[in-house]
Amino acid sequence: MPPAIPSATPPGTPKEYRIASIPADGIGPEVISAGLEVLEAVAARDGGFTLKVDHYDWGSNWYRRHGMFMPPDGLAWLRTADAIYFGAVGDPDVPDHISLWGLRLPICQGFDQYANVRPTRILPGVTSPLRDVGVGDLDWVIVRENSEGEYAGHGGRAHRGMPEEVATETAIFTRRGVERIMRFAFDIARSRPRKLLTVVTKSNAQRHGMVFWDEIAALVSHDYPDVTWDKELVDAMTTRMVRKPQSIDTVVATNLHADILSDLAAALAGSLGIAPTGNIDPERRSPSMFEPIHGSAFDITGKGIANPVASFWTAAMMLEHLGEKPAADLLMRAVEQVCAAGILSPDLGGKATTQEVTRAVVEAVRGMNR
Ligand code: IPM
Ligand code: MG
């Protein structure tokens, strides 16, 4: 037998993951520090890995000081991380398109995190605004194309200030871009028990890009004979989400369509305050970025009442992506236990503060069987 190759880390040594934390604006810092606290508890409970967190103070305050949202070599710094844990970007004093194109989109697009994954489910203890719809009736994964489409940034303005001023915003669909997101979505659908995918489109009105989108979905579907799929126009999809939530499992949609549908999904599942997302590079050439979808929420910033559940669920997605599925499951079980016990923040009709929810989840993690 050949001698064993000595490994750099002796067996039994916990793996160390490097996490780049970018809390950024609004309630971002509150929910990300809550998330990091819970992640530490999960790592301690699991014992198989540790986390080394690099803190980056980029965002709108950084912009006020430096005239940009992150340093020009920001991506090179982030590349040293195994994953990025992101809070929210957006500030009442900075136009939204400046902050978005200053920080979040350069990371998503610069690292080609082309798959945005948005799971939605009704957590125990949480009430859906839909009548007669409870835990188990709504269990969706929305896959959002995250690199092109309506967010391609392609367009411009001419004749500024003149009566004939014109502005264009062209959606871009490339064969490579559409095919890879379709494959990713079919893979997710295949990995779930129902093996059911809905391809959202608007090819009745948009006869170029969206017809192309449908054609590629049909082509890719041949490689997934075990996945049942259908097509739904985006407007009809909103009605179906409300009226027949049980008919939906995995969904794939363009950048803008999925942006809109995922807010609706979060609201139907009880609150925007619980919805997580992962900006994934499925090929793992670059670190992926995980963030709550709720945004900076300036109306409640600093009040200590932000719902940290989205950032916990986000942390669970990050752990799963890092290969720590048992730890991710443990964290979600702890979150569900706390929600079921009625320890809920005001957006879910409860009275608990961010800190109280966080403390309860940390305690649940500590008491949880692996
Ligand atoms: C989201 C958000 C962003 C988006 C905003 C903040 C620009 O709504 O992640 O869904 O539209 O992508
Ligand atoms: Mg959105």
Cα distance between residue 23 and residue 331, in whole Å: 20
Q: Does ligand 1 come within 6 angstroms of the Cβ of 293? A: yes
Determine the pLDDT at residue 9: 62
- Which residue pairs, CB below 8 angstroms and at least 24 apart, start in 354-359? 354/30, 354/31, 354/34, 354/304, 354/305, 354/306, 354/307, 354/308, 355/34, 355/304, 357/34, 357/307, 357/308, 357/309, 358/34, 358/37, 358/38, 358/308
Determine the pLDDT at residue 368: 85
Residue 56 tokens, joined: 């980056």
Looking from the CA of residue 277, the nearest atom of ligand 1 is 9
Our mutation pick for probing the ligand 1 site, out of 25, 69, 100, 254, counting the most ligand atoms within 8 A of Cβ, is 100
Domains 1-113+288-370 and 139-268 share a fold: yes
Residue with tokens 């963030």: 291
H/E stretch holding 198: strand 196-201
CATH superfamily name and code, 139-268: Isopropylmalate Dehydrogenase (3.40.718.10)
Residue with tokens 């009745």: 204
Q: Does ligand 1 come within 6 angstroms of the Cβ of 145? A: no
Cα of 360 vs centre of ligand 1, distance in Å, is 29
Determine the pLDDT at residue 357: 98
Residue pLDDT, tens place only, 21-77: 999 999 999 999 999 999 999 999 999 999 999 999 999 999 999 999 999 999 999
Q: Does ligand 1 come within 6 angstroms of the Cβ of 259? A: yes
Residue pLDDT, tens place only, 339-356: 999 999 999 999 999 999
Cα distance between residue 276 and residue 55, in whole Å: 20
Q: Is 24 left (phi over 0), alpha (psi -120 to 50) or beta?
A: left
CATH superfamily name and code, 1-113+288-370: Isopropylmalate Dehydrogenase (3.40.718.10)
Looking from the CA of residue 116, the nearest atom of ligand 1 is 9
Residue ranges in the chain assigned as alpha helix (H)? 28-46, 60-66, 74-78, 96-99, 105-110, 175-191, 209-221, 234-243, 255-268, 309-321, 325-340, 354-367
Report the pLDDT averaged over residues 140-159.
97
Looking from the CA of residue 100, the nearest atom of ligand 1 is 7
Residue pLDDT, tens place only, 311-336: 999 999 999 999 999 999 999 999 99
- pLDDT confidence bin for 369, thresholds 50/70/90: confident
Nearest Cα residue to atom 10 of ligand 1? 259
Could you tell me the residue ranges of all domains in the chain? 1-113+288-370, 139-268
Residue ranges in 269-353 assigned as alpha helix (H)? 309-321, 325-340
Residue 16 tokens, joined: 């160390």
Kindly tell me if the per-residue pLDDT of 7 is higher than 60. Answer: no
Find the helix packing angle between 175-191 and 209-221, rounded to 10°.
Answer: 50
Output the 3-class SS for 212-245: HHHHHHHHHHCCCCCCEEEEEEHHHHHHHHHHCH
Report the pLDDT averaged over residues 155-173.
98
Catalytic residue set: 151, 202, 235, 259, 263
Counted residue by residue, the chain has a size of 370
Query: 3-class DSSP state for residue 161?
Result: coil
Ligand closest to Cα of 116 equals 1
Nearest Cα residue to atom 4 of ligand 1? 259
Estimate to the nearest angstrom the gap between the alpha carbon of 128 and the chain centroid: 20
Determine the pLDDT at residue 3: 53
Cα of 5 vs centre of ligand 1, distance in Å, is 47
Nearest Cα residue to atom 3 of ligand 1? 259
Our mutation pick for probing the ligand 1 site, out of 105, 259, 298, counting the most ligand atoms within 8 A of Cβ, is 259
Cβ-Cβ contacts under 8 Å for 151 (sequence gap 6 or more): 105, 255, 256
Question: What global pTM score does this model have?
Answer: 0.94
The candidate with the shortest Cα–Cα distance to 342, out of 363, 360, 324, 322, is: 360
- pLDDT confidence bin for 5, thresholds 50/70/90: low
Kindly tell me if the per-residue pLDDT of 1 is higher than 80. Answer: no
Cα of 255 vs centre of ligand 2, distance in Å, is 10
Q: Does ligand 1 come within 6 angstroms of the Cβ of 133? A: no
Contact 234, 214 (CB under 8 A): no
Q: Does ligand 1 come within 6 angstroms of the Cβ of 295? A: yes
Cα of 142 vs centre of ligand 2, distance in Å, is 12
Q: Please classify residue 148 by burial: count the beta carbons closer than 10 Å to its beta carbon, then call 0-12 exposed, 13-18 middle and 19+ buried.
A: buried
Residue pLDDT, tens place only, 172-219: 999 999 999 999 999 999 999 999 999 999 999 999 999 999 999 999
Residue pLDDT, tens place only, 238-274: 999 999 999 999 999 999 999 999 999 999 999 999 9
